Amino acid sequence: MAVYGWSGKRLGQKSSAALLLTPFVVAYLAFLVIPFLNGIWISLHNWNLMAVAFDPNAKEFVGLRNYERILWGKNIVWSPAASPLVQWSAAFVLLSTLLLTAFGKISRGTAVLVGSIALILFVACGFHPGAGGRWYDRRFWPTVGNTILFVALTVPSITIISLSLAVLVNRESRAMAVFRTIFFLSQVLSVTVVTLIWQLLFSPRQGLIANVITLFGGSPIHWLTDERFAMAAIVITTVWWSLGIAMILFLAGLQDISRDIYEAAALDNAKGWRAFRHITLPNLKRTITLVVVLQIILHFQVFGQSHLMTGGGPNDSTQTLVRYIYQTGFRDSELGRATTMAVFLFVIMGAFSLVQFLLGREDKD
């Protein structure tokens, strides 16, 4: 497409690109880059939301103290058995990766990726307060742990269920079109509506689930106030809510797979599960990576479900990172600390974006 300047003269490729990119770059700088840099700047201050609004000089530069107060503690030591289950599992994965690489069973890229994650987990989970020590913010790391647990439960569930649904409704019939619409419908609801629906369903007094359990002679579960079920409750809600978009992505991926391959496979007697295992899954590899990484980034930012359904409780068991950031920023007015946590969240999400980038590059290789 030819682009013309003010003088009516046709612009060169570089000038055209600069001109066409300008609106995006301006918006990107104004609404993303500058606020992000401003966030980092705020995180280096003792910055009260209200006080600074009325007196811009009310802030105090504290350097990296907010990072120390959130991430670190008094007399923190490291040991290889601080969180034995996680650390030893990570060590096992690390050793297995090394062995598999040595025998050429996995690619070098995958090995570096999996090995790095295992190494980070092994090292990070080893820090703990020594005798007489404590974390300065004793709620931060458990909150990070809750968020990771939420992601670990939600992402595989959504991926598996939405893939299964996509395979089931990937047929050209009127009924399947109706099902596709129904399964996607929950996605368009707002978090307020979704949590309201599920609070009603989970209610131990008049909820549908309690009624069904009572019908079979059981006693109703207090989903939202029982520590054993609260996380499960917000995971179930999130899975129900988030299936639609993942299913649509999988449907798009499935429709990209040529019918010819299935027909050829059918001649070799590969149908049903075998066709799914050997044709569908390998062809969907990039879609699965995309769905998983998008879901990880999305669900690390979980807020509404925890805030509206359980209030982060009981005993902080459903407290998540974004809710903690929100409370620190708005309830406690501590914008400096809140943005510090937000920067930490950015680093985590940045790491997963990097993973997607690396995996994508490996696919091309």
Which residues sit at the interface with another protein, rule CB under 8 A? 48-51, 53-55, 134, 136-139, 203-205, 222, 224-227, 308, 311-317, 326-327, 330-334
Least CB distance from residue 27 to another protein, whole Å? 21
- First-to-last CA distance in the chain? 32
Quick one: 39 or 109, whose CB is closer to another protein?
39
**What span, in angstroms and rounded, lies between the C-alpha atoms of 223 and 349?**
30
Give alpha helix (H) positions in the chain: 13-28, 34-43, 49-54, 65-71, 84-102, 108-124, 140-169, 174-185, 191-202, 208-215, 227-255, 259-267, 272-275, 281-283, 285-299, 304-305, 321-326, 335-364
- Shortest Å, Cβ 354 to another protein: 33
| Pairing status of strand 60-61 against strand 127-135 | unpaired
Residue closer to another protein (CB basis): 48 or 238: 48
What is the C-alpha separation between 174 and 138, in angstroms, rounded? Answer: 55
Partners of 124 in beta bridges: none
Please report how close the Cβ of residue 329 comes to another protein at its closest, in angstroms. Answer: 9
Whole-number minimum distance, CB 73 to another protein, in Å? Answer: 11
* Shortest Å distance, C-beta 33 to another protein: 21
Q: Which phi and psi (to 5°) does residue 55 adopt? A: -145, 100
Measured CA to CA, the distance from residue 22 to residue 44 in angstroms comes to: 31
Report in angstroms how near the CB of residue 230 gets to another protein at its nearest. Answer: 9
Shortest spacing between CB 46 and another protein, in angstroms: 8
Rounded Cα gap, residues 361 and 169, in angstroms = 31
144 or 210: whose CB is closer to another protein? 210
Torsion sign across C-alpha atoms 205, 209, 215, 220: negative
- For residue 56, whether the previous peptide bond is cis, meaning omega lies within 30 degrees of 0, is no
3-state secondary structure 310-329: HCCCCCCCCCCHHHHHHHHH
- Between 170 and 327, CB nearer to another protein: 327
Residue placing its CB nearer to another protein in the complex, 43 or 287: 43
Query: Between 143 and 147, whose beta carbon lies closer to another protein?
Result: 143
Least distance to another protein from the beta carbon of 187, Å?
24
Closer to another protein at the Cβ: 115 or 336? 336
Q: What is the C-alpha to C-alpha distance for residues 104 and 117, in angstroms, rounded to an integer? A: 20
> Which of 105, 138 has the CB closer to another protein?
138
Helix (H, G, I), strand (E, B) or coil at 319: coil
- Work out how close the CB of 68 gets to another protein at its nearest, in angstroms, rounded to a whole number: 14
The angle, 0 to 180 degrees and rounded to 10, between the axes of the packed helices 227-255 and 140-169 is 40
**Helix, strand, or coil (residue 83):** coil
Closest approach of another protein to the CB of residue 210, in Å: 11
Tokens representing 189? Answer: 């609801």
Whole-number Å distance between alpha carbons of 293 and 300: 11
| Phi-psi region at 312: left, alpha or beta (left = phi > 0; alpha = psi -120 to 50) | left
Residues forming a β-bridge with 4: 10
